[in-house]
Chains A and B, each alone.
Chain A
Amino acid sequence: MLAWTIYISFAGALVLALMPKGKGGSGHSAALARGIALVVAVAGFAIAIAGFASGAGKGRVTIVDVPWVPMMGIHYMLAADGISRVLVLLTGLAAVAGVLFSWNIEHRTNEFFAFFLALIGGVYGVFLSFDLFLLFVFYEIAIVPKYFLIAIWGSTRREYAAMKLALYSFVGSAMVLIVLLAAYATSGSHSTALVDLARANLPVSFQMWAFPVAFVGFGILAGLWPFHTWAPTGHVAAPTAASMLLAGVVMKLGAYGCLRVAIGLFPHGLDPWGWSFWGIGSWRDVFALLAVIGIIYGALVALAQTDFKFVIGYSSVSHMGFVLLGLVTLTQVGVDGAVLQMFSHGVIAGLLFAIVGRIVYERTHTRQLAELEGMYLGRRLPFAAWAFVIAGVASMGLPGFSGFVAELQVLIGAWVARPWWTAASGVGIVIGVAYTWRAMQKAFFTDRLPRPDEHPKEGWPKFDPITWPEVTATCLLFAATLIVGIYPSVLLNSIEPAVKALLAGGMQ
């Protein structure tokens, strides 16, 4: 059933791409395009929920398994385990919220939603593929729509940011392709199914180099420091819905690849080298160090930004550091936390980008914190202010929201593995509070008195009222982070057995 999320997304994209363009005014065709996109996204979300509910308590369920390229042993194999189901759920949620927050796109509307749905379809595909080859195909399908979404509908330096993002992604996927070819040739099993490759007992010497190449290749998309630089520029330049998807699900593609492919297929790549340099004795230490640096570096840079959207962009790098750290702890609790953090960050970052990029920017037409400071948005846009307070608090990791449970588990897992990892990333959390607080205070709750020239004589001009799609999507994302924060077992019950199976020896 879950496979239909992929098919309807691509079908929707195709319909929208072929839709005749409205002549002149085009208001009618734009409304139709929005409607189709919303129906497709909601249908995908509904299927994701149904699939999640019906999969409860089950392990891996194969959805489709047919030979695709028989001569090379490639199968069209879709399946879902607990991790896939959670991430598919996140994708559905992000798709619906993304369509709602792009309700005001008037320029080439049908093409926008066509690229949007093509991206969503690719993302669903990655999360559901259990053939390495198929996974790679979907992973690459997701690259091209990102480029066009940013280059056509973006803002600040959009062409530069779009090209940077596309090339970083493509270089990452080239590294993955090299590993894929090598694993295929080395295993000799004449199959690219993840299960078969995991069973193939690839030589340890092979895993030792394949693991870092695959981890970096996927990690580029997950914002792994120092390959993260596409993320802030890309997030800032992207239109709101695209930043929501980039931070919300596309970065998760990378993290998911790190878990499913790099750790799942090449577990011995994490073994100790047998020698150590300053306490770095395995690829695990190397990537944990990079993740911790990412956490602290992202947070510090976010603290220094003057552009509201850059604050959120760098905070994504910091939060994704927790995901990567959780993955390399290789402990049950740590990896659980990492997967939960993928979901949590997907929701919270999506919400933050929506508030900054859509609710605030579309009304104030500036993202400079210094200029926002003089606008008294706390009083003039109370909805935005309160939404940002809640999202910001969730992002800081306050108990009761999903981020708390996730980051706590990652930290516990890290403590079990190496205590100093926890100590260092704890600093990142403190800085996280600082930058969120600073942005919140500057953008919404400043008590600086306006200079005389700033205060308009005939009162403040009214902002456009908050529209229903914005309210609906905001409430949807709130609900998600609250439910998971208060009752995390709803996801953890699904994640835990899958992680356990994965850590216990690949995906047999």
Chain B
Amino acid sequence: MNYANLFRVTLPETALDVAALLVLVVDLGFLRKAALQTRIMASVLIGLFGCGAAVFFMPFQADGGLSYPGSTDLMLSAGGYAAIAQVGILMLTVLTLFLLIGSDFTKHVGEFVAVVLMAATGGLLISAAQDLLVIFVGLELLSLGLYILTAFAKRSGKSAESAMKYYLFGGMSAAFLLFGFSYLYGLTGSTNLHRIMLGFYGPTVIGSAPLVYVALVMIAAGLGFKVAAVPFHLWAPDTYEGAPAPAAAFIASVSKVASFALLIGIGTAAMHVFDGAHGVVRVTALFTTETPARWMGFNGPWSTIIAIIAVASMVFGNLAALAQDSVRRLLAYSAIAHAGYILLAVAYFSRGNISANAILYYILTYGLTTIGAFGAVSVVERMHGSDRMDAFLGLYKRNGLLAGVLLVLFLSLAGIPPLVGFWAKFNLFAAVLEVNRGVTPFTLVAIAVAMSAVSLYYYLQVLKRVFVMAPAEDGLVKGNPLTMGVLALITVAVVVLGCLPGLMQSWMAGFYAGM
């Protein structure tokens, strides 16, 4: 293995880990006696610099990524979709760190920020990973960080309960994932995604289609848990409700980006298989009807599984959100629904980068919006000690800026133009239809559009309390000025990216330029 190359490719991850250690040193060493808010500011600043350094080091990654010794197969890729996901993860991490400012759920600020940075490192790794073992290690690094972050509010029973629930579900799903991986390895004799995809043409696989199904279902279960897709979603409402706001925002945004980047990685590997022995480019059995089987008219077992999960998520997520009284749980169910929309594009994945870009566009803008939403909810929560709908009564009178932020972000989540959420949806559904114009994908898109019409109802339920109903008590809701500034910035970004949707598309296209 070429260690110089390894160092170059993992420079961003290294920068993050150095920053994580630095935070611990500064917070536990120099600032041990300082006031809480000072320590928070210092830790957030170091985190910010760490993420900035990581973004700065991105261009230094070796072109083409890191390959195995004596082979051209990649272990870690660089550039392209992976780089977009990594930059997105770093930016969203910074935004979640800003939500920490002004909060007081923990005294262990340094540890919190360090765990956030390490979890983000895991996110960076899985975005680029091309090897089952690296994927698994990266996922565990991310997940362990998330369990700890969820449990961080030690004084809150809900935080502990939800962390326990999250941990147990997570452990179980990791086991499923590993089980699926082991079957893949057993069937194809490799842990590299590209080799595995090639292996699907071998006689072993063709003769053992049921084992492929088992492996794929297991993997779908493991990854379905990460993106909170039905029926692996049960942890999401509790975790979103119980976790401290910055942790919940991190789970809702960064962890989702990383998981979808991984799904893109699997899809890309499957769609771009170069068979050196025969000198042809093949589309693997994961996505075509060549082998191992044709089932229900979909494009192969993987697409079938993902499409079923997608429909279940968007139908169940949207319907369950209708009945929520806690705004955080509402956001959790809406997250399940959004995951369902995105999974449609995973099920109908394209060659080239249309699908990859559509998915990244969606998940990055969704992450941005949802961080803002959690930030706004946490401001209200800090005032009332509750995230019930009634805590939002008459907010327009008590904090006009916050009301405006909620209006824009929730309408964007509902997909109302000209906000960015609308473009993300349009882009995504157009990508699905671009791949396949058959009756089935079209029906699925129609269901998705119909379900997003349902979603307007519950977003309006919150906005109704914010704007229409009279406040239950007087007095202003005051947020930390820096938090309010960040929220306003996110809101402006949602509007601007919505009015000029080409901006982000050309930004993303820039990452493919060198490939």
Which residues of A are in contact with B by a Cβ distance under 8 Å?
17, 21, 67-72, 111, 136-137, 140-141, 143-144, 147-148, 151-152, 159, 163, 166-167, 170-171, 173-174, 177-178, 181-182, 184-186
Interface status of B171 (Cβ within 8 A of chain A): no
Q: How far is the CB of B5 from chain A (nearest CB, A)?
A: 34
A21-B400, A72-B427, A144-B416 provided; 4 other pairs, C-beta below 8 A? A71-B509, A167-B453, A170-B453, A186-B437
The complex places the Cα of A186 from the Cα of B437 at a distance, in Å, of 8
A136 neighbours in B (Cβ, 8 Å): 417
25 A-B Cβ contacts within 8 A? A68-B502, A70-B502, A71-B502, A71-B505, A71-B509, A72-B430, A140-B416, A140-B422, A143-B416, A144-B411, A148-B467, A151-B467, A151-B468, A159-B468, A166-B460, A167-B453, A167-B456, A174-B452, A174-B453, A178-B445, A181-B433, A181-B449, A182-B442, A185-B430, A186-B437
A148 neighbours in B (Cβ, 8 Å): 467-468
The complex places the Cα of A111 from the Cα of B456 at a distance, in Å, of 22
Nearest CB in chain B to that of A213: its residue: B446
A178 near B430 with CB under 8 A, answer no
Among B400, B450, B460, which residue has its beta carbon within 8 angstroms of that of A147?
B460
Interface status of B434 (Cβ within 8 A of chain A): yes
Interface status of B287 (Cβ within 8 A of chain A): no
Nearest CB in chain B to that of A167: its residue: B457
- A137-B417, A166-B460, A174-B453 in contact; A181/B429 too (CB < 8 A)? yes
Q: How far is the CB of A299 from chain B (nearest CB, A)?
A: 31
The complex places the Cα of A117 from the Cα of B433 at a distance, in Å, of 36
B449 near A177 with CB under 8 A, answer yes
Nearest CB in chain B to that of A174: its residue: B453
B468 neighbours in A (Cβ, 8 Å): 148, 151-152, 159
The complex places the Cα of A107 from the Cα of B119 at a distance, in Å, of 50
B158 neighbours in A (Cβ, 8 Å): none
Nearest CB in chain B to that of A108: its residue: B396
Nearest CB in chain B to that of A176: its residue: B449
The complex places the Cα of A140 from the Cα of B416 at a distance, in Å, of 7
Among A68, A174, A185, which residue has its beta carbon within 8 angstroms of that of B449?
A174
A159 near B453 with CB under 8 A, answer no
The complex places the Cα of A144 from the Cα of B468 at a distance, in Å, of 13
- A147-B460, A171-B453 in contact; A181/B445 too (CB < 8 A)? yes
B418 near A137 with CB under 8 A, answer yes
Interface residues of B: mostly helix, strand, loop or mixed?
A: helix
Among A70, A140, A141, A184, which residue has its beta carbon within 8 angstroms of that of B430?
A184
The complex places the Cα of A136 from the Cα of B433 at a distance, in Å, of 19
The complex places the Cα of A163 from the Cα of B446 at a distance, in Å, of 22
Which residues of B are in contact with A by a Cβ distance under 8 Å?
396, 400, 404, 411, 416-418, 422-423, 426-427, 429-430, 433-434, 437, 442, 445-446, 449-450, 452-453, 456-457, 460, 464, 467-468, 501-502, 505-506, 509
B453 near A141 with CB under 8 A, answer no
A17 neighbours in B (Cβ, 8 Å): 404
The complex places the Cα of A170 from the Cα of B453 at a distance, in Å, of 6
The complex places the Cα of A136 from the Cα of B505 at a distance, in Å, of 21
Q: How far is the CB of A123 from chain B (nearest CB, A)?
A: 15
Nearest CB in chain A to that of B418: its residue: A137
A140 neighbours in B (Cβ, 8 Å): 416-417, 422
A170 neighbours in B (Cβ, 8 Å): 453, 456
Among A69, A143, A151, A167, which residue has its beta carbon within 8 angstroms of that of B501?
A69
A181 neighbours in B (Cβ, 8 Å): 426, 429-430, 433, 445, 449
The complex places the Cα of A167 from the Cα of B509 at a distance, in Å, of 37
- A185-B430, A186-B437 in contact; A152/B445 too (CB < 8 A)? no
The complex places the Cα of A316 from the Cα of B442 at a distance, in Å, of 36
The complex places the Cα of A147 from the Cα of B468 at a distance, in Å, of 10
B452 neighbours in A (Cβ, 8 Å): 174
Q: How far is the CB of B463 from chain A (nearest CB, A)?
A: 8
B506 neighbours in A (Cβ, 8 Å): 71
B460 neighbours in A (Cβ, 8 Å): 147, 163, 166
The complex places the Cα of A170 from the Cα of B505 at a distance, in Å, of 27
Q: How far is the CB of A6 from chain B (nearest CB, A)?
A: 12
The complex places the Cα of A158 from the Cα of B506 at a distance, in Å, of 44
B422 neighbours in A (Cβ, 8 Å): 137, 140
Q: How far is the CB of A80 from chain B (nearest CB, A)?
A: 21
Q: Which of A144, A148, A181 has most B Cβ within 10 Å?
A: A181
B418 near A141 with CB under 8 A, answer yes
A67 neighbours in B (Cβ, 8 Å): 502
A152 near B453 with CB under 8 A, answer no
Q: How far is the CB of B172 from chain A (nearest CB, A)?
A: 37
Nearest CB in chain B to that of A151: its residue: B468
B502 near A185 with CB under 8 A, answer no
B457 near A163 with CB under 8 A, answer yes
B509 neighbours in A (Cβ, 8 Å): 71
